[in-house]
């Protein structure tokens, strides 16, 4: 777990956030605590997804469906707010690393006994999930937690909500994890329970060998191998375990075993009996113990700051909180909540709920002597509208401003998903045909190629300020621009955008035009950006405003962001 950054929220809904557990393609995950003291994992979806009405409608339905999944080998959904400006969901917190973190942190391949228990528990979980008519769609090492009470399968609902969002899939987006997606999922032939079994086979191969069964150095290579090549299984996968893994990884979905059959062959007397006898190697037991101690230390720190009291959840947004902590109970499907979502076209959404508040957006305690910034204690609410676009869809924000996709895809609990393509930029260049002139005479040091086509010295330097989009209704974090002397057609600097969740994208700026009133540039995502950043070129404008610079973007797909920036130094 990582401490909260200076620009990360300190509260979401009724939960106080204590630290960041991880991040992925769908959002960021935080350790939170309710007013009554219950520890939860809170997942906040990326803001650009919140502006897609089809995603929001599916998210609402999938959260309801995910709440039906409870009991053994799964982390129950406790609370959610699909109607918030930035939707979120809270699940039970389990002290223990993800399978991805455990293997990559030095534990390496797991013993065969541990792998069998892992497979049996996850197979039992999938059997119950499929029995409810649900499909997980994103079974992978980072979605499997290792606890002393057994393995837990997490992250239901959000992947399915995105995978079925027409406005995203229609632009070439495919949701899943290369190397763990089933061939039929990659080829777009439909996803069934057999697809989850394929993913489970890949997870077991990873647990037994420490390497994915389809190795590759790029997403394209991984996808090709899953569809066309046989898995690579090491010598450590032998005997019956090898037979089962190979059966799970069959290219033909009908040739794969059913989850209940897989569970029976791995643990004839049930996974719970094997867990009770001890299933984790000593190194992982010690790691789980350290996680528990870390949590106790957080509780001790909170006890010094927050009065205790038996206060329950603050009006859970999706029904009452199911599930309890403790040893894995017998799987019992809950009665689904009454379907109250209207049918037919989704109406335009005008959110008006609590929004994660960046620390630097609200007044907080005085800065301590060591210069470290303390978390703010003030929460605010705001409304962020999504203007209807073509075909009645809400306007969506580009990831280059608000999307935070982690570069380290195997952090703490959740990994990334795979995005084949991003949303189109929709840039409208309205600057063509104007004469280029110098905005101000150069003073001091000369600019490159001084003249009417050179960047005036008044603009040179580093500028920083807070950005917003959609007419100022949506905060977009910190914009930091570094400009250097350049002629029209030359690179003039870069724009670094850090969104409210801490995601960073860098755009390279090329000088396009100079007038007396403004400087116009073309902004293109840097080659080093992660997959969530907007790669499409778009036009931006800088206008002097007193001693500051005002930044404006013509990209409607990004919400036409603006920012007033002050000189921050060279």
369 three-class SS: coil
CA atoms within 13 A on the CB side of 137: 25
Asked if 559 contacts 471 with a C-beta cutoff of 8 angstroms, the reply is: no
41 three-class SS: strand
Q: Give the contacts of 34 (CB within 8 A, at least 6 positions apart).
A: 14, 15, 40, 311, 312, 313, 314
The 8-class DSSP code of residue 143 comes to: G
Catalytic member of 7, 52, 81, 138: 138
**Phi-psi group of 234: left, alpha or beta (phi > 0 → left; psi -120 to 50 → alpha; rest → beta):** beta
Which residue shows structure tokens 């909540």?
337
Asked if 44 contacts 35 with a C-beta cutoff of 8 angstroms, the reply is: no
Q: Give the contacts of 153 (CB within 8 A, at least 6 positions apart).
A: 73, 74, 75, 122, 125, 126, 129, 136, 139, 143, 144
Give the 3-state DSSP-derived string for 388-457, with helices as H, strands as E and coil as C.
ECHHHCECCCCHHHHCCCCCCCCCCCCCCCCCCCCCCCCECCCCCCCCCCCCCCCCCCCCCCCCCCECCH
134/180 Cα distance (integer angstroms) = 18
Tokens for 520, please give them: 């116009």
377 is in an annotated binding site: no
Would you call 138 a catalytic residue per the annotation? yes
Tokens for 381, please give them: 């609410």
Binding residues: 43
Active site members: 138
Binding residues for ATP: 43
């Amino acid at each position: 777990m990582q401490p909260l950054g200076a620009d990360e929220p300190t509260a979401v809904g009724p939960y106080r956030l204590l630290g960041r557990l991880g991040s992925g393609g769908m959002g960021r995950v935080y350790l939170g605590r309710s007013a009554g003291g219950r520890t939860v994992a809170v997942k906040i979806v990326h803001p650009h997804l919140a502006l897609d009405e089809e995603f929001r409608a599916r998210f609402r339905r999938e959260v309801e469906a995910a709440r039906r999944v409870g009991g053994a080998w799964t982390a129950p959904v406790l609370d959610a707010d699909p109607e918030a400006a930035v939707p979120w969901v809270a699940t039970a917190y389990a002290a223990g690393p993800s399978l991805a973190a455990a293997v990559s942190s030095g534990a390496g391949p797991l013993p065969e006994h541990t792998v069998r228990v892992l497979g049996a528990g996850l197979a039992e979980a999938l059997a119950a999930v499929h029995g409810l008519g649900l499909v997980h769609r994103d079974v992978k090492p980072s979605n499997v937690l290792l606890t002393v009470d057994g393995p837990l399968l997490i992250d239901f609902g959000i992947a399915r909500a995105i995978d079925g969002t027409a406005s995203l899939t229609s632009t070439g987006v495919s949701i899943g994890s290369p190397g763990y997606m089933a061939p039929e999922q990659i080829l777009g032939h439909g996803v069934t329970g057999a697809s989850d079994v394929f993913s489970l086979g890949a997870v077991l191969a990873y647990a037994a060998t420490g390497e994915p069964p389809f190795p590759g150095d790029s997403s394209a290579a991984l996808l090709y191998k899953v569809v066309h090549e046989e898995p690579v299984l090491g010598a450590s996968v032998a005997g019956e375990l090898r037979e089962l893994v190979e059966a799970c990884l069959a290219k033909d979905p009908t040739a794969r075993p059913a989850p209940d059959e897989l569970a029976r062959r791995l643990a004839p007397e049930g996974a719970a009996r094997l867990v009770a006898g001890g299933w984790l190697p000593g190194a992982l037991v010690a790691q789980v113990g350290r996680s528990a101690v870390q949590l106790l230390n957080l509780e001790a720190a909170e006890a010094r700051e927050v009065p205790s009291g038996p206060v329950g959840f603050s009006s859970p947004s999706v029904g009452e909180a199911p599930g309890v902590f403790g040893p894995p109970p017998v799987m019992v499907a809950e009665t689904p909540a009454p379907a109250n979502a209207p049918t037919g076209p989704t109406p335009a959404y005008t959110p008006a709920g609590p929004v994660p508040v960046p620390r630097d957006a609200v007044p907080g305690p005085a800065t301590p002597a060591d210069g470290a910034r303390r978390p703010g204690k003030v929460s605010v609410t705001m409304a962020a509208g999504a203007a209807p676009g073509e075909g009645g869809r809400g306007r969506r924000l580009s990831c280059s401003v608000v999307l935070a996709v982690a570069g380290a895809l195997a952090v703490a609990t959740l990994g990334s998903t795979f995005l084949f393509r991003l949303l189109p930029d929709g840039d409208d260049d309205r600057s063509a045909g104007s004469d280029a002139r110098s905005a101000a005479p150069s003073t001091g040091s000369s600019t490159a190629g001084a003249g009417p086509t050179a960047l005036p010295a008044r603009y040179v330097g580093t500028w920083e300020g807070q950005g917003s989009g959609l007419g100022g209704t949506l905060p977009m974090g910190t914009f930091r621009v570094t400009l250097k002397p350049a002629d029209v057609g030359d690179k003039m600097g870069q724009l670094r955008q850090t969104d409210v969740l801490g995601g960073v994208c860098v755009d390279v700026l090329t000088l396009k035009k100079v007038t007396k009133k403004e400087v116009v540039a073309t902004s293109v995502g840097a080659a080093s950006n992660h997959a969530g950043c907007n790669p499409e070129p778009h036009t931006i404008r800088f206008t002097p405003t007193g001693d500051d610079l005002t930044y404006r973007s013509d990209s409607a797909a990004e919400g036409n962001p603006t920012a007033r920036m002050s000189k921050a130094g060279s």
